[in-house]
Amino acid sequence: KERDKKMMKLTKFLCISVLMFSVFLISGCVQSEYNDEDNNSGKKFEESPFGIAISHFGSDYLTRMPEDLLGARSHWAGSLIVRWYEVEPVKGQFNWEKLDYYLKEVGNEINLLLELRLYNGWASVGGCEKNLAGSPLKEEHWNDLDNFLKLLVRRAGNKVKYWSIGNEMEIENFWCCTFCKTEEESAEEYLKILKRTYNVIKEADDNAVIVLGGFTGNWKDGTNVNPEFVEYILKNGKDYFDILDVHLYGDPETYKERVQWFVDLMDKYGYSKPIWSTEMGGPDIRLCFESGISESRNKSLEEIITENECARVFYLPEYRKEYYKMHAEEVVKRYMYAFDAGVSKSFWWTLYAVKEYQHLTYERMSHVVFSKMGLVATESERGKGVINYTKTPGYYTYKIMAEELDMFDSIEKLSLNDAEVFLFNVLGKSVIVAWSEKDTTLDLSNYFDGTIRVRHIVSELDEQENPIYLEDEFFSSASVKIGEEPVFIREESE
């Protein structure tokens, strides 16, 4: 009997031990798929102001993305869209395959910004003209949203700290409320989702940073295209985001005015927050048309490119050299205007682009605005996917810019000879970025002593599609020659 008692105690002990071990294993699996300690090494690049938008999961280029991103000297991947309806197409049935695949491919040196699109056909009110636009949540499905967000944050683990909520919600392409009678009512419905999402994510990860999903930055008569909606959100939602996101396309010389409009609104309600631009890019074909791209709606593309040389540069292969040059210049110029406007981090739209646009119809025409801005041009074949990747001059120019300016402490725009001149303090040293519509000579002796080095951008490729680097030039700081292409200037002996 004594032996039986001992055996019973031993059996009980083993059962409890197995149970505790099982609980440990299960809890570990639930917490995160990606909690390696080494995943934190990218944090040293967290303050970098340079990012690149990626946009899509599961594309042909996914496996090469980390290498291309780091090759451009960017340690931030943005606009990675997670759509609730794709992850949970049926209530309670989850498909994490795309997200898991992406997170495993990303190296430890890359910081991620995930963009959450929280529409779901079985949970949202819907009824919008754009059937996948965001819309209010049905009352009975708030707990389902909570559950999705908790699982998402746990699954991402410490691979993801930054979360963007929604996208361009002040325009009907991305948000609509069919039962709302005013823009303020519509904004209140969006705000309900923002508040709930903010609270759930912060509870799941107290280190999380919430980005208020990008306002368009589209401008009309000196203001945002939907000022009532935006003002309601910034007035009543100030406690439910950490960073404000403004998308910047169009004319870069208006960036400062547009960003200031948002700064003034926050100031009106007694607060300020950092401003990022998670989508910024060019050249913008819409600037080829004085009255906007819609003026060409009744014309064939053949008519458009015959009449408008600017538009031809975007479409025709024989203009590729001109487009590449314009694109590389705009990479630098748009970043300078954004930083000068007070934007603390900007993501170029996008890493990948189409090399030639093949669908020559008006419906596709406006899409060219975004599809050719990317830094790596791709060619595809039906049934084969992407068959060729070409790093554009803009890609190499982006790398040069990041090498020269990454982790800068301050920026000041200077007034010199009608040129565009920006003075940066980079880790205690001065770097100037400058260009001018006409060739001119700058006296920079107030900023540099002795000899300075001028570093050029890459504006063309050779016949093998390799970058053509111009040799650095050296001048006296009192007599520095510049032209229409942006250059990087710092004190350095020959």
Q: How far is CA 400 from CA 54, 434, 466, in A?
A: 20, 14, 15
Q: d(Cα 90, Cα 85) in Å, to the nearest integer?
A: 8
Q: Do 434 and 393 sit in the same domain of this protein?
A: no
Q: d(Cα 93, Cα 96) in Å, to the nearest integer?
A: 10
Q: Do 237 and 321 sit in the same domain of this protein?
A: yes
pLDDT, position 363? 52
Residue 91 lies in a domain: yes
Q: d(Cα 60, Cα 368) in Å, to the nearest integer?
A: 20
**pLDDT at residue 437 above 90?**
yes
Contact 272, 278 (CB under 8 A): no
Q: Do 330 and 429 sit in the same domain of this protein?
A: no
Confidence of residue 23 (pLDDT cuts 50, 70, 90): very low
Task: Report pTM.
Answer: 0.90
Q: Which of 391, 406, 421 is the last residue of a domain?
A: 406
Q: Do 415 and 386 sit in the same domain of this protein?
A: no
Q: Do 330 and 425 sit in the same domain of this protein?
A: no
Contact 214, 78 (CB under 8 A): no
Q: d(Cα 97, Cα 105) in Å, to the nearest integer?
A: 12
pLDDT, position 30? 43
Residue 429: both structure tokens together: 């040293």
Give the domain extent around 311: 35-406
What's at 126, amino acid-wise?
G
Residues sharing a CB contact under 8 Å with residue 294, sequence separation 6 or more, in sequence order: none
Q: Do 157 and 49 sit in the same domain of this protein?
A: yes
pLDDT in tens, 31-49: 455 554 444 546 678 999 9
Coil, strand or helix: which one is 290? coil
Q: Do 344 and 332 sit in the same domain of this protein?
A: yes
Q: d(Cα 338, Cα 258) in Å, to the nearest integer?
A: 10
Taking each helix axis from N to C end, the angle separating 142-156 and 183-204, rounded to the nearest 10 degrees, works out to 40
pLDDT, position 242? 98
Residue 476: both structure tokens together: 């006296």
Q: Do 114 and 76 sit in the same domain of this protein?
A: yes
Residue 43 lies in a domain: yes
**pLDDT at residue 410 above 80?**
yes
Q: Do 400 and 427 sit in the same domain of this protein?
A: no
Q: Which of 406, 437, 466 is the last residue of a domain?
A: 406
Residue 45 lies in a domain: yes
pLDDT, position 358? 54
**pLDDT at residue 189 above 90?**
yes
Q: Do 275 and 305 sit in the same domain of this protein?
A: yes
> Looking at 319-401, which runs of residues are DSSP E strands?
345-348, 352-354, 376-381, 385-391
Please name which of 113, 112, 76, 70 lies closest in space to residue 399, comparing C-alpha atoms.
Answer: 70
Residue 16 lies in a domain: no
State the CB neighbour count (10 A cutoff) for residue 41.
Answer: 12
CATH number of the domain where residue 59 is located: 3.20.20.80
Residue 28 lies in a domain: no
Q: Do 260 and 335 sit in the same domain of this protein?
A: yes
pLDDT in tens, 343-372: 999 999 999 988 876 544 555 555 667 888
pLDDT, position 21? 44
Q: Do 301 and 388 sit in the same domain of this protein?
A: yes
**pLDDT at residue 137 above 70?**
yes
pLDDT in tens, 237-277: 999 999 999 999 999 999 999 999 999 999 999 999 999 99
Residues sharing a CB contact under 8 Å with residue 492, sequence separation 6 or more, in sequence order: 451, 452, 453, 474
pLDDT, position 40? 52
Residue 103 lies in a domain: yes
Contact 353, 375 (CB under 8 A): yes
CATH number of the domain where residue 483 is located: 2.60.120.10
Rg, the chain, Cα only: 26
State the CB neighbour count (10 A cutoff) for residue 303.
Answer: 11
Q: Which of 406, 431, 447 is the last residue of a domain?
A: 406
pLDDT, position 292? 62
Q: Tokens 């008006």 correspond to what residue?
A: 362
Q: Residue 285 burial (CB < 10 Å; 0-12/13-18/19+)? A: buried
Residue 287 lies in a domain: yes
Q: How, if at all, do strands 440-442 and 480-482 pair?
A: antiparallel
Query: What DSSP character marks residue 90?
Result: B
State the CB neighbour count (10 A cutoff) for residue 491.
Answer: 17
Q: d(Cα 458, Cα 454) in Å, to the nearest integer?
A: 13
**pLDDT at residue 336 above 60?**
yes
Domains held by the chain: number? 2
What's at 309, amino acid-wise?
E
pLDDT, position 387? 84
Residue 7 lies in a domain: no
